[in-house]
């Protein structure tokens, strides 16, 4: 369900793009990207429960990074309908995914995961984790976890939105329907 919603988000971004960019919103896209790279480079896909690094701040830092980046894109193209669509579909699609993952992790890790849930918020925690932030980050692990393909998606999408506006204003076509 997440993939069709992502494709619809991309299509909507191009349809509402009028070139009135809010360049500051790219800071949110960059922050979302940073969180996702940090998370993917800290995630060791084993049977061990990872609770350090970005996982000491959020039980779902990859999804948090996705949310921040998506909000950034919607604000970049200055579209309230796109923002509302993104937030609503994120809540439905990722909310269901997170609940399913939590059930699986409770079955696999039991009380250890329950304690983790008590300490760390689903998307963000307001308690400073201190030394728990320390975790061995690995760029090669981020690549292995296919994070750079995701980052290229954001980069290409923003570049395409800017190119769409340039082509529309240069008289070369691509006018908005």
pLDDT at 77: 92
Cα 35 to Cα 67, 95, 110, 150, 153, distances in angstroms: 10, 19, 27, 12, 15
Do 67 and 93 meet the contact criterion of CB atoms below 8 Å apart?
no
* Cα 105 versus chain centre, distance: 21
Q: Angle 2-16/61-76 helices, nearest 10 degrees?
A: 20
**pLDDT the model gives residue 2:** 66
Domains identified in the chain and CATH numbers: 2-169 (1.20.120)
CA quadruple 51, 57, 63, 64: dihedral, nearest 10: -170
Average pLDDT of the chain, as a whole number: 88
How far, in Å, CA of 52 to CA of 134, rounded?
A: 6
Which pLDDT does position 176 carry in this prediction?
Answer: 53
Q: What is the pLDDT of residue 174?
A: 53
- In whole angstroms, what is the distance from residue 112 CA to residue 49 CA? 8
| pTM, entire model | 0.87
Check: CB of residue 52 under 8 Å from CB of residue 132.
yes
Q: Which parts of the chain have pLDDT scores under 50?
A: none
Residue 130: which region, alpha, beta or left (left: phi > 0; alpha: psi -120 to 50)?
left
Dihedral angle computed from the Cα positions of residues 30, 36, 39 and 45, in that order, rounded to the nearest 10 degrees: -160
- 3-state SS, residue 28: helix
DSSP designation for 57: T
């Amino acid at each position: 369900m997440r993939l069709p919603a992502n494709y619809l988000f991309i299509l909507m971004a191009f349809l509402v793009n009028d070139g009135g960019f809010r360049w500051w919103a790219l800071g949110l896209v960059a922050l979302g990207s940073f969180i996702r790279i940090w998370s993917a480079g800290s995630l060791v896909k084993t049977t061990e429960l990872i609770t350090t690094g970005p996982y000491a701040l959020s039980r779902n830092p990859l999804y948090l990074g996705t949310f921040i980046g998506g909000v950034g894109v919607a604000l970049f193209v200055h579209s309230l309908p796109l923002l509302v669509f993104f937030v609503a579909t994120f809540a439905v699609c990722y909310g269901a995914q997170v609940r399913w993952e939590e059930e699986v992790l409770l079955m696999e890790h039991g009380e250890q995961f329950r304690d983790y849930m008590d300490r760390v918020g689903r998307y963000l925690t307001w308690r400073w984790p201190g030394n728990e932030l320390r975790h061995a980050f690995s760029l090669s692990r981020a690549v292995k976890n296919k994070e750079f393909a995701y980052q290229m998606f954001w980069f290409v999408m923003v570049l395409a939105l800017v190119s769409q506006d340039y082509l529309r204003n240069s008289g070369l076509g691509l006018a908005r329907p």
